[in-house]
Structure 1
């Protein structure tokens, strides 16, 4: 039940460019491979990224022939104007590279993508060499799971091996990744553990937890006296 890591989800064959790759070749790379960005390598190590957004200033400012942004223009506009005159990947790239290690948990990588607003993270090994790329789409692979396989995992791993509960006493249904649980456990704490483990299981879209308990061990005896 271990959470998937970046290594298990990433794309290993990465289309890349060199710092000296010309502007037109960069455009052709993106078009040919239907991708929106490429890492820029220097001596085999990533030093930046060229995306579609880094190439568009060439058209926005017509290669630098349009007027430069005014004195009070923002930093982004001035940066785009400088990119408009760029000829190679080294001129156009955005640095540093947003990266992640192969052993990073999928949830941590998803959080990094959300917080930084980037579309992809480049995967670097301990030496800083490029070994893959992880996109938003790659992370969504965790939800492409067979319902029957999810059901077996919940029954056998969560209830059978983790909670030591006879799986046949719990009704587990999975439809399009949505899990429904029904049955009776000894303690409320066991229900809480099951709830947490099922929700954290890769591929689970949602949980309908209708489990009941014989004893609510999460309420302190003194609370029972006061509110009972």
Structure 2
């Protein structure tokens, strides 16, 4: 029951620029594309920065350039916006470092990294650091597009039969809008707990309503002699 990996969800065709790409050309690329940022790569195809719409806006924010520059005590982001406002190439306005991830990483690891870093996308690099794709928040949400019947079949086959060896008639599995309801009786409490956890962990499952009962509480150690 492997969860999807990055390579199975990422976008492989990535529009990219080099450091010398003119400011207006970067603007045109973002305006024409269905994305809000573009990676900047070196001559070996390794990402060295990212230019987003936010990186381009300081040019308008400081239009005219007549205001005095920020003081040495100004916040880092203020100094960066001032620098970007006077940039003429992708290298001048890009943000660093680039937040990357490997193609073999699981989707859950990618989701955590997006959350921790507070970014909208991860750039996927191979073992040599070369850009091979991009993974956005939207790409990760694709796992929830799995159909209810597909999820139901997966739970019965992979959780109940292959993992727990539960008879198909012992547990009823219902899936509605990604919400799974489990009903029936399993021999051991520990197995019922495993069934719930594994079902919850399946990509595409929104929630689990656990109505499973068990014949034997094998987690109760009160009757055992120490």
Unaligned runs of 5+ in 1: none
In 1: Cα distance, 2:222 partner to 2:15 partner = 62
Which residue does the alignment assign to 2:182?
A: 181
Distance in 1 of aligned mates of 2:70 and 2:168: 67
Segments of structure 2 that go 5 or more residues without pairing to the other structure are none
CA distance in 2, matches of 1:82, 1:75: 11
Q: Tell me the SS of whatever aligns to 1:221.
A: coil
- Indicate the residue corresponding to 1:210 in structure 2: 211
Which residue is 1:28 aligned to?
A: 28
C-alpha displacement at 1:66, in angstroms?
2.8
Deviation at 1:72, TM superposition (A): 3.8
Counterparts of 1:149-228 in structure 2 under 5 Å? 149-222=150-223
Task: Indicate the residue corresponding to 2:56 in structure 1.
Answer: 55
Q: Shift of residue 218 of structure 1? A: 0.9
Structure number with the higher helix fraction is 1
Deviation, structure 1 residue 168: 1.9
CA distance in 1, matches of 2:95, 2:17: 13
Please tell me the root mean square deviation across aligned C-alpha atoms, in Å: 1.3
Alignment of 1:68-79 (within 5 A): 68-70=69-71, 72-79=73-80
Shift of 1:84: 0.6
Instruction: Output the TM-score relative to the length of structure 1.
Output: 0.95
CA drift at 1:111: 0.2
Query: Is 1:125 aligned with 2:129?
Result: no
| Separation in 1, partners of 2:198, 2:64 | 55
Deviation string, structure 1 residues 120-178 (Cα, Å, up to 9, x no partner): 00000001111000000000001000100100011111101110011222110000000
* Cα distance in 2, alignment partners of residues 65 and 32 from structure 1: 31
Q: Equivalents in 1 of 2:100, 2:85: separation in Å?
A: 26
| TM-fit CA distance, 1:222 | 4.1
Contact kept, 8 Å, 1:63 with 1:85, in 2: the verdict is no
